[in-house]
Structure formats: structure tokens, C-alpha cells
Amino acid sequence: MPRLSVARLLIRTNPILNPHFTPPAHRTHHANSPARQSLHTTTTMARKTQEPVITKISTLLTADAKWVTLQKIEYLDQTGAARTWEVASRKTRAASTGVDAVSIGNVIRHPARKPATVLVIQYRPPLDAYTVEWPAGLIDEGESAEAAAAREFSEEVGYACRVVGVSPVQAADPGLSSANMQLVMVEVELQAGDAEELPPQRLEDGEHITRVVVPLAELYERLVEYSKQERTVVAAKLFHFAAGMHFARTQEYGL
């Protein structure tokens, strides 16, 4: 089957990819909608005309790369043996903080609803797939992790938020990359009279992000279901958080 035909089939069969869920105007499917089964899905982007299709993959010289570089590390291991390691590193790391990025764990509180979290779904070219993630973004020069999280959360989700916790610096993928990050936990306090619809996003050119609100109590099971869908991958950091909550709740660990 031609690649484009597969993409069109995915549009029709995958609720994440279906263009009915990505109209040009602000639209939300509410918790009681059968189409979403208690998911709130909102997008503010141009209508899709097709699914993303990779047209070419070529070798990139590190001197020509804008965002990343490839290096070879030569080192002595614990026995004194000489060894080498190939590593990908970001070129954009803020010198003021030494940290690349933030991931934004979030809890949405409402007096009439269970605590929930906002996930973002977007196409990631390195995987040629849609990823289910928490909002995230790079830290700008001179910006704190807290400020970066508030900025990115406002842009991708639309809400102002309150920072409730910041993690130490964490390795993002230590076997492959020097990339690091911090997890910033935030809360949004909604009031009884607030609209159920998510507020407008402020996305940059080229960003196409779908927001999904999932009750925290259902997060693990929902991520497992997403993982079964075609061309859909759950980000490891998000799944690890959900699995930790799930197993702490279901196993007898004496916590």
C-alpha cells in the first residue's frame, strides 16, 4: 500500500489523528462525550490536510547542524582500559544554568471534578510517530527552570500555573546523549464557574499540539491504551510517572 494511503487510513482509524478532532476553530470534546470517553481534547491549529510524511533522510555534518552535535569521548574505565563512546549533545544548552530542558508534570484541580493532568500529543520526526507526553520545552539563556516551565505551559496548554516542585537535574538518555532536564511540577486551580474548555494555546510556527485532559486515577490505563494505537508512542518519562503511581496503589509495598 502506498505511504500516503496508509496515512489516510490512519486518519480515519486513529482517534488521535482523525481530522474531526483537529478543527481550525477552538473546540473541546467533553468528559461525557462517547467519542473521547472522559477525555477533553482541544487543538488550536490549522486543519490537517495530510499526515506527516518523511520525504528524505540524509547524513548531516555536525558543522551544519543547528541543534545537536555528535562527539567521540575517549576515556579510561575503572580498570584503566582505554575506551571510546559516541555521544549526541545539544548546542542550545543555557550556559547560565547548565540545563537543557524542562518537562512539566501538571495537576488540574477543580472542585467538581477529580484531579486530572494535561497531556500533549504531537508528531515527532525522529520516531515518525505521534508521542503522548507532558508539556516540555528548552530553557532559554538566563531563564530558571520554574520560569521556563510556566512559559512553556502557558504556550502549549494555555493556563497560568503555580510551581509546586522542581527536581534536581536529571539525565534524559544517558546511553546516547548528554542531554539533561528538570521535572517541574505545577498545579492549576480552577473554580466552579470556570469554563470546561481549555484556553487558547500560543503555539509557534510548525507546532501542532493536541491537548488531552486525563484524570490522574486513569492515567496508567489510558497510556497503556494509547500505546496500542498505530503510530503512537508514549514518552518514557510520562509512563514511568504513571507506572509509579499505579504500582504504588496496586501492589503491597508498605508505602
Cell of 165: 516542585
DSSP E strands in the chain: the ranges are 27-29, 40-43, 68-76, 82-90, 101-110, 113-124, 129-133, 136-138, 162-166, 170-171, 180-189, 210-215, 232-234
Residue spans of beta strands (DSSP E) within 148-209:
162-166, 170-171, 180-189
pTM for the predicted model, two decimal places: 0.80
Nearest to 39 by CA among 214, 232, 156, 190: 214
| Burial (Cβ within 10 Å: 0-12, 13-18, ≥19) of residue 214 | buried
How far apart are the C-alpha atoms of 248 and 255, rounded to whole Å? 7
Least confident of 19-28, 137-146, 210-219: 19-28
Looking at the predicted structure, is the pLDDT value of residue 210 above 90? yes
pLDDT band at residue 25 under the 50/70/90 scheme: very low
The pLDDT tens digits for 112-156 are 999 999 999 999 999 999 999 999 999 999 999 999 999 999 999
**pLDDT tens sequence across 59-76:** 999 899 999 999 999 999
Tell me the torsion sign for CA atoms 6, 8, 14, 16. positive
